[in-house]
Chain A
């Protein structure tokens, strides 16, 4: 059963050094506040999983907390590069970053397999591309009925999945709507689940099309209004596109990024980021 608790306590209890963590949200409902709490607590040596690393993982990578990234598209949507991600991959700053790289279809199906309790998923994908040459989590499987060769992708089962949702109710059920991305699969694939929400309501009003995660599939809920900013929560906020555009200049330069880190997380900065 899920427990409603402060974000700081939920992060400290559920996320540990060395964990594989998925923080999902396809442009919408990205759990930025939870990521910032990870930076605050200096939880490190993480393997991060996410289809679109986005600014949220650019920040965690730049903060030196990430050992490995499992992903399918690493850009700042509509703006350009994720410069901290690039600097880590190209120059090993502030530490080398191992990659496990897929297509969106492959990543989505890896979560589906994880949520389904299967070791792998099957799709028509990857054929003729160079993607399979750089990962051990893509292979092929032969259809036992038709003989057709198809792509097989290994299941993803994160230690922890973190998502942001619009609402939880007092019983600890979670509900989100709009672009719901791959969060249901990411949550059901994980060993532990942390959800930040815009608000806790007494009871859900009917809302067709919303995704509900029952309280017994979630470990902790933290009420964090605006916890997706600069991403957004439909019905509560709009995407802060100006913030995404402004991030480009912050992330482009190591000194500007380090100054941002110092400014945003002042108490954690005593020699914390390796040079």
Chain B
């Protein structure tokens, strides 16, 4: 899934990076101002741990297994690896985590992945429709995501960009982003702001202030708007001004590769 990209020629001294590395580095940067982050396993965990090594050393990582303020020295495979508890500021039970900490509104940023995402940032991680003659494809299910999406101050989503993942209509709505459009979160009584950015391997999408529909606001270096359109399963809205993300720095790449290798 990773495609090699090379630095622009005027940065010929800079190292090359993969599209996955671009995604992860930009996801970590999105946590620069956060105090606390509820971390899903996989890409979100990689990005949040990278943030603690680069943009935000004081970031409090919270894992649904009960670890608050985990400081793992290497990437955990599961959300319940022993090192998360051993290095945590506090370890709490699962009901306490979901009721007092998450539902209580004490967590700034929820960081989620997705199997399917729609134009309003709603997420499916439950089932996929594989056609009339085939059984539904089974995904892991909801886990903590519905209430993370509902109750964190804001939500970041990280996923690889493809028409299979970025779909016109979800097969199942597991977690609510901006629902059916602007104002829907308030109508549903969801207290957090919902998704503020979707970081992919091609660029960054953010909800429009007027419609809540995701629009392309930044491209990663070397990526074109057409590439993103082709990888999106709905007619993609594009912001009037599309920026380009800063290339990964040598420090970011070194930290990320060390994290992955450990």
Interface residues of A (CB under 8 A from B): 26-28, 51-52, 71-75, 77-79, 81-82, 85-86, 89-91, 101-105, 108-109, 111-112, 123-131, 148-149, 178-182, 184-185, 209, 211, 232, 234, 238-239, 241, 244-245
Which residues from chain A contact B140 at a C-beta distance below 8 Å? 73-75, 81-82
Please report whether the interface of chain B is mostly helix, strand, loop or mixed according to DSSP.
loop
A184–B66 alpha-carbon span in the complex (Å): 14
Quick check: B82 and A128 within 8 Å, CB to CB?
A: no
Please report whether the interface of chain A is mostly helix, strand, loop or mixed according to DSSP.
loop
Interface residues of B (CB under 8 A from A): 41-42, 64-67, 76-82, 84-86, 91, 93-95, 98-99, 102-103, 126, 135-138, 140-147, 150-151, 172-176, 179, 184, 188-191
The residue from B86, B138, B150, B173 contacting A125, defined by CB atoms under 8 A apart:
B150
A34–B111 alpha-carbon span in the complex (Å): 35
Which residues from chain A contact B135 at a C-beta distance below 8 Å? 89-91
The residue from A82, A91, A103, A234 contacting B85, defined by CB atoms under 8 A apart:
A234
Q: Which of B66, B135, B184 has the most CB of A within 10 A?
A: B66
Which residues from chain A contact B145 at a C-beta distance below 8 Å? 103
Which residues from chain B contact A185 at a C-beta distance below 8 Å? 93, 95
The residue from B79, B86, B99, B179 contacting A77, defined by CB atoms under 8 A apart:
B79
Give me 13 A-to-B residue pairs in the complex whose CB atoms sit less than 8 angstroms apart, sorted by A's number: A79-B77, A108-B94, A124-B191, A127-B150, A127-B189, A128-B184, A130-B126, A131-B142, A178-B91, A179-B85, A181-B65, A185-B95, A238-B82
Which residues from chain A contact B80 at a C-beta distance below 8 Å? 26-28, 77, 179, 239
The residue from B66, B82, B137, B189 contacting A181, defined by CB atoms under 8 A apart:
B66
A60–B77 alpha-carbon span in the complex (Å): 23
